Each structure stands twice: as C-alpha cells, then as structure tokens.
Structure 1
Amino acid sequence: MTGTEASASDLSPLLSDADSLEDQSPRGLASVSGAVFNICTTMIGAGIMSIPAAVKVLGIIPGFAVMFMIAVLVEVAVEFLLRYTQHGKSTTYAGMMAESFGLSGSLAVQISVMITNLGCLIIYLIIIGDVLCGSQSGGTLHLGVLQEWFGIQWWNSRAYVLLFVVLFVMLPLVSLPHMNSLRHSSAISILLAVVFIAISSAMAIYAFCKGKTQTIRLLPDFANQVSVFDLFTAVPVLVTGFCFTVNVHPIRSELSRPSDMRYAVRVSLAICIAIYFSIGFFGYMLFGDSILADILVNFDQNSDTAIGRLVNDTVRLSYAMHLALVFPVINFSLRATIDELLFAKKHVLAEDSSRFAVLTCILLAVSYIIAIVLPNIWYFFQFLGSTTVVCLTFIFPGAIVLRDVHGISTRKDKMMALLVIMLAILTSIIAIATNLWPVG
C-alpha cells in the first residue's frame, strides 16, 4: 500500500482485500475501453431482470426519462467522488467518508455495502430458482426449465435444486481465496449476459414482424392499474441498475490517466441506458401487462414450438448461469468487508482457512435460507434501491460535498448535492411507505 493508503487504513477497511490485489498488480495499464467494460459489467447484473416490470409501471416515455435522469444524477455523484478523491488522501470510498465524517462515516459505507451485496446474493439465488424451478404469480404457475423437461417432481422443487446449486456450484467457486482466481468465470458470465440480451431483443423484433407483440403503453395507466405513488416503487428498481459507485476507486486506480475516469463513466452510462431501455422496451413488447418482476419467468410461455421452447430455455439458462458465475465475485467483497469489520486485527482472511471456511459457509447458508423464504425479487430490488443503494449512489457523495472538508465545493456544487440528497430521500420514503401501506 502507498503511504496515503496506509494512513487511512484504520479508518477505511472497506475493500482492503481488493486494494491489496491492486497493489500486487501493475498499475496504470488499464485503458479507457477496459474501464468502460468494467463499469458496464458492474451495472449490468440482476437488476436488468426487473427493468421491464418497471417500464410497465412507468410507461415507455416516462421509463426512458427516469432512466436518463438517474444516469445524469449518478454521473453528478461520481464526479463528486472523483473530485474529492483527487484532493484527499484516501483512495477508497469508505476512506473518503472517514475523512469527512470519521469512523461513523466509514462504518456507514461498510454496512451499506454489506447489505447491498448480501441482497444481491439473495436476488441471484431467487432468479436461479425461478429459472430452474419456476414460480407462482397471481395464481398462475410458471414452470421452471427442470419442470418442463422432467415434470413436477419432489427433487426439482426450489429448496432441493437451490441446495444442490449452492453446494456443488457456488461453494467450489466461493472457496477460491483470491479474486484473481475468478477471472475466467467472470469473463464467461459477461458473454452469457450478452447472449441473453441479444436473443431477447431478436425475439421481440421477430414477434413484432409476425404481429404477435403485446399492446404497450407510452404513459402510465392511471385510470386502471397505476397510482402516482406506484411510480415511486419502480424508481428504486432502476436506481439499483445504475449502482457502481463502490467500484469507482478500484477502476480509477488502474487507469494510466485517472482523469480519463470521467469520460469512461459517461460512455458507460450511455451504453447502459441503451441496454436497459432496449430490454425494458422489448421485454414489455413481448409480454405486455403479463410481465413479471423477473422477466425470465415469462419465457416459459412464449412459444408452442420446439424451436421456440429451445430459444426460451437458452435465454433463461444463459442468464441463470451468468448470475451463478457473478455470485462468487459479489460474495468475495462481501466476505472481505465482514471480515475486516469483525476481525480487523486478525491475519489476512485468505491465510486463515478456518475463519475463511466459517464465513463462507455462513454467507451461503444465510443467502440460501432467505432466498427460500422470500422468493419475490421485486421487493428486494425496491428495498435495496430505496435504502443502501440510494445511500451509496447519491446520499453519501452528496454528504461529502456538503461537508466539504477540503474546501473545494462551489455554491453550485452544494446546491446540486442538496438537490440530489433531497430527491433520493423523498423517493425512498414514498417507495417504502407505498410498499408498507399500499394505496387503494
């Protein structure tokens, strides 16, 4: 670690394992295109599954407008982080919060990252369970791939299948002690995500040419299905899709010119807007009002031909496999953060096999149990998007600007930071209240 990083280590244990890996690797070798690739990979995760459902609630035009607005606010927040990183001593997110708010600030970031990452692990297992074992929504049974192939059996129920996946797929991957060991599985996961997006869009275009697409709304259906408050429950789902602030500092540190990070962020946000809107539009076009919180479940009923069923199964399995391979990456940073919080004075986690095994098994067990008990991902996306993701993406960066320990914020910066914080808090409060006390 460098001198400045060492001085902040006591205040910013978050992602220290990742920092150590960066210190062991050559710096300044990453290109702008590589940074764009890494940022996009961070954003394009499980959140893409619920974007069509959010577009159904918002309508096509407001859906695109909200995506664009969120992307602009994310860019503003990242600009704040990059500017204060340049003027401060710390090179981690938690370290920046420690510079502004002390240990409580660092702890707030750590807790938010732990909740967000654990939530993602649970979401990944839920989606994999939906794909393989099916789900039930509104009294309609949506069969999983295994049930379609072998019929409904005791052994292909969600509890047994996820247990098998956790023990024989997840456990070997999460047992790898170093992030670098996951580089090949991560590359495959990105390819699988691209396959899912390409096939889904092609299916929608083909259905449109055949006149089989569903009726879509350009605006929210306030007359029948949607209230004004329902719109706020869809916004956190979109916010979750644009969350990548935790990886800003590791990606920036590898660029030959850190100033290029701003350009990389803009390009990445533009790419993700295009991808998210494409999935939202084409997914909504395919399934209309029958779209579910997890669009993968809808693919069990979109074709009555052998080729169509094969394409549907390919779409679902490709993304389920993608999530299975992303799972250990998310688990790695979560496990390292928890270890640094609970065992700050112990030896490096990778060198303590007992502690490593216990933490790994506990995280897998907790993720599995919650994924079985609460199988609806819409509520998870709303919760994460309304709480910890909002904090990491908007509230914490805005708070750093308002605190302004380096004296570099202008009046315009502080007004923008205040606006971002107020919008984030207002949207979150309404979304949470609407879920707890449904209107109508």
Structure 2
Amino acid sequence: MGWPWMTSSLFAAEERASLGRVDSLLSCPAKELPRPGSVGVSYGFSVLNLVNAIMGSGILGLAYVMAHTGILGFSFMLLIVALLASFSVHLLLSMCTQTAVTSYEDLGLFAFGLPGKVVVAGTIIIQNVGAMSSYLLIIETELPTAISEFLPGDYSGSWYLDGKTLLIIICVVIVFPLALLPKIGFLGYTSSLSFFFMVFFALVIVIKKWSIPCPLTLNCMEQYFQISNATDDCKPKLFHFSKESVYTLPTMVFLFLCHTSILPIYCELQSPSKKRMQNVTNTAIALSFLIYLISALFGYLTFYDKVASDVLQDYGKYLPHDAVVRTVRLCFLCAVILTVPLIHFPARKALMMMFFSNFSFSWIHHFLITLALNIIIVLCAIYVPDIRNVFGVIGSSTSTCLTFVFPGLFYLKLSREDFLSWKKLGAFVLLILGGLVGNFSLAVIVFNWINNK
C-alpha cells in the first residue's frame, strides 16, 4: 500500500525501522513512566482539561433523548456508556505502561507497524477537524442571535451580528492564540472557566424548572395558550421506547469521547502514573456524568414530551424575555469556544507525528500547522454545505473507532495475557460493540437522509 507523501521504498525502510524499535521496546519489562515528582500540570487542572474535552454541544439534546427513553432507561444507558468509556481509557493506559509510549499514534505503530500509526493519526485528524468545524458552525449560527437578545433595538445588518464576521474574529482573537500554546496544560484556566459555564447551565435548568408550569402555556402577544394537557403530558415516564429511541446509543457514545486528549494530558500530568491518570479520568467522567444527568433530568421534567432537540430553544420560546436564559445561552457558547483550542492539541500532534516525527520541536512547524488547522476548520464551518451531516457520517465511524474499536483491538494485539482474562474479554466486547455502534450510527444517518429527501 503506497502513501501519497512518500515513495514505496521510503515507506518500506521506515516500516522496518519502526518495527525494529517496536520489537526492542516490547522486550523491555512493563513499568510506569519514569517521572515521579516531576513538575507538570496539577491533578485539578488535568481533570478540568479532560472535562472540557468530554463536554460539548451534545448536552443540549440530552433532555430530548430522555423523553424518548424514560428516566430510568436513560440513566442506565448513560451509566453503562460512562463505565465503558472509563474501561477503554484503562486499556489505553495499560498499553502505555506495557510499551513505555504515551501517544495514541505510537500504540498503533506498536500494534500494526507504520500503517497502524498512519490510520490512528488520520482518524484523530478527521474526527477532531470535524468536531472543531461543527463547534464553529454553532458559533456562526447561534452567537449573533445570543448577542442581539441583549440589544434594545433592531441592529440587523450590523457587522457584529454577522455570523461569518464574528466567527473569523473569534478564531483570530481567541481560538488561534490559545491553540498556539505549546502545552495542553496551559489551558487549565480556560477549562476552569468552561466548566463553570457548564455548571451554570445545569443550575439554570434546575432553577427554571419551577418558572415554567405544566401544562405548558405559550405567551403570544400577551395572550397565553395552553399547548399541553395536564393529565397526559405532565407525567414523567420511567421507561419509554419510540422510533426516536434508536438515536440514543449513538448519541451517548459521543458524549464521553475524550480519548484523543487522554494521552496528551497524561504526558503533562504532575507525578504521572497509570493509577493517577486513571483517577483523573474517572473523576472527569463522573463530573461529566453528573452534569449530563442533572441537565437531562430537569430539562425533561420541565417540558416532558414537548422538549425540543435543543433544550435552549424551549427556554427561548417559553421565557422569551428572561435575562438569565439569555445569559446562559451566551455562557454556553463561550464554553463551546473554549473547547475548540483543546481539540486542536491532539489534531496538531497527529499531524506532527505523521509529517515531522523525525524532527525535534520547531516553533515554525508548530505555528504553521496550528495556522493551517485554523484555516481549514473556519473554511469548513463557513463554506461546506450541510457540514453536520457530512461529519455525522465521518464522526459515526471515527468516534467509535477511537472510543471502542482501537483500544479493544490494540489490547488484543499487544497484551500477552490469556484470552480468557477479564481485560482481554472486555477488550473483545469493546471491539464488537464499537463495530456494531459504528455501523448502526451510519445506518441511522443514511436512513435520516433518505427520509428527509
């Protein structure tokens, strides 16, 4: 198999050298990374960075998902996916301990040689570029509306209400400088702010539960219209299944995707060890799980079966002049903006390992790749039509590979444990589950397209 950026002879030579390095390292005894007591990123900042990598715009649709699965059905499935995500991280960290490397790409190299490294790096790049482009699309479409809600008159046509202009300004002033930082640990402060915004979002949903009565009444030109029936629509369902329920599992799988950021955060962790990084992961996933569950539960208990796929739209509809709702919308968009630089790091690292792995760190390479990534995601957000559907297809495959398929497959390949050991059986389950979820997600998206057409 040839690659467009190298000749076949160079490929063969590098692959032989890579496999030689793999064999020599695999012969070494497994041990923890030898940096105890090193100065690095604190435990708290590492947790906040990982929470920021986990949480994104998917939180807006969780109340809608709960409406179509029921409270207990949703809670059970969310817990299972969180535990599986934590287990897959455990496998990644175990492989790093065995092989003495701390990059996802090098795990692919150890497992399947240079093709494995290229596949993992390419998957990371595609998934992260898709995620960043989707986040920027949210900024482009939603930020002008959020700003206009604070303005007293009609300022339509102004440059500060133009989505493309705002997007470019934000990328130049905020995203690019933050993404240019040399270490992911430097984003601990912005991750703290993003986490505060997410907590604020969840608290507002809890508080506003008592500001919107059920049956729901819609205020239209000072006239109130009842749009739901108290007997039928104001009772929470513990379990519920409908045709919309098929979207639940694919949605939940993407909620805890943080695996591309795990190893960069691990490299910079203060006194790094497998156990310490696993504790960071478990804490971050637990915090994310708690915020997800609270937001979904109280959003559902506010609007019940009438909840929209974007819960903030409901609050804008039933509380159109509420200053707190307007503020939380703006804060949520700020949290999304601060997530984009964090996703830059694994994408840039993957590009560096593909093209500049034999070079020492260079600020020129660092600057040019960061700039190129920024330009690509801005152009995708602005000019690619229907980008959510495009990256929905890509995301359904790349996300499940990074979360389930690769950790399971690499562990089965690299571990010398007996196949009947609980870790290898768990890795096999992850591999099968990842394949099923990825194919199912793709089928659901294609089915959606056909129905929409």
Assess same fold via TM > 0.5.
yes
Quote how far apart the aligned CAs of 1:236 are: 2.2
2:247 matches 1:233: yes
Quote how far apart the aligned CAs of 1:113 are: 1.5
Question: Do 2:48 and 2:195's aligned partners in 1 also have CA atoms closer than 8 Å?
Answer: no
Quote how far apart the aligned CAs of 1:45 are: 2.8
2:147 is matched with 145
What one-letter code is carried by the residue in structure 2 that aligns with 1:417? Answer: A
Quote how far apart the aligned CAs of 1:250 are: 4.1
What one-letter code is carried by the residue in structure 2 that aligns with 1:329? Answer: L
In 1: Cα distance, 2:41 partner to 2:369 partner: 32
Question: Do 1:232 and 1:430's aligned partners in 2 also have CA atoms closer than 8 Å?
Answer: no
Q: Secondary structure at the match of 2:296?
A: helix
Quote how far apart the aligned CAs of 1:82 are: 2.5
Candidates 63, 86, 99, aligned match of 1:88: 99
Quote how far apart the aligned CAs of 1:301 are: 2.2
Candidates 266, 271, 274, aligned match of 1:258: 274
1:395 is matched with 405
In 2: Cα distance, 1:244 partner to 1:63 partner: 21
Quote how far apart the aligned CAs of 1:409 are: 5.2
Matches within 5 A, 1:152-301: 153-154=156-157, 155=159, 156-176=161-181, 179=184, 182-207=187-212, 215=234, 218=237, 226-227=242-243, 230-252=244-266, 254=269, 256=271, 257-289=273-305, 291-301=307-317
Question: Do 1:293 and 1:377's aligned partners in 2 also have CA atoms closer than 8 Å?
Answer: no
Bigger drift between 340-349 and 315-324 goes to 340-349
Matches within 5 A, 1:24-173: 27=38, 35-134=46-145, 144-146=146-148, 149=151, 150-151=153-154, 153-154=156-157, 155=159, 156-173=161-178
Compare CA radii of gyration and give the structure with the larger one: 2
1:386 is matched with 396
In 2: Cα distance, 1:373 partner to 1:281 partner: 36
Pair 371,59 (structure 1): closer, same or farther in 2 beyond 3 Å: farther
TM-score, length basis structure 1: 0.77
Percent identity over the alignment is 23
Quote how far apart the aligned CAs of 1:72 are: 1.9
Pair 162,60 (structure 1): closer, same or farther in 2 beyond 3 Å: same
| Structure 2 runs not aligned, ≥5 long | 1-17, 23-32, 218-227
In 2: Cα distance, 1:101 partner to 1:24 partner: 28
In 2: Cα distance, 1:115 partner to 1:375 partner: 17
Pair 202,383 (structure 1): closer, same or farther in 2 beyond 3 Å: farther
RMSD (Å) for aligned C-alpha atoms: 3.7
Question: Do 1:133 and 1:146's aligned partners in 2 also have CA atoms closer than 8 Å?
Answer: yes
Q: State the Cα deviation string for residues 263-289 of structure 1 (Å, max 9, x = none).
A: 443343333222111111222334445
What one-letter code is carried by the residue in structure 1 that aligns with 2:293? Answer: F
In 1: Cα distance, 2:395 partner to 2:292 partner: 16
Pair 8,276 (structure 1): closer, same or farther in 2 beyond 3 Å: farther
Pair 276,385 (structure 1): closer, same or farther in 2 beyond 3 Å: farther
TM-score, length basis structure 2: 0.75
In 2: Cα distance, 1:381 partner to 1:298 partner: 26
2:350 matches 1:337: yes
Question: Do 1:87 and 1:406's aligned partners in 2 also have CA atoms closer than 8 Å?
Answer: no
What one-letter code is carried by the residue in structure 2 that aligns with 1:189? Answer: S
Q: State the Cα deviation string for residues 325-344 of structure 1 (Å, max 9, x = none).
A: 22222223323322332334
What one-letter code is carried by the residue in structure 1 that aligns with 2:262? Answer: V
Candidates 369, 372, 391, aligned match of 1:362: 372
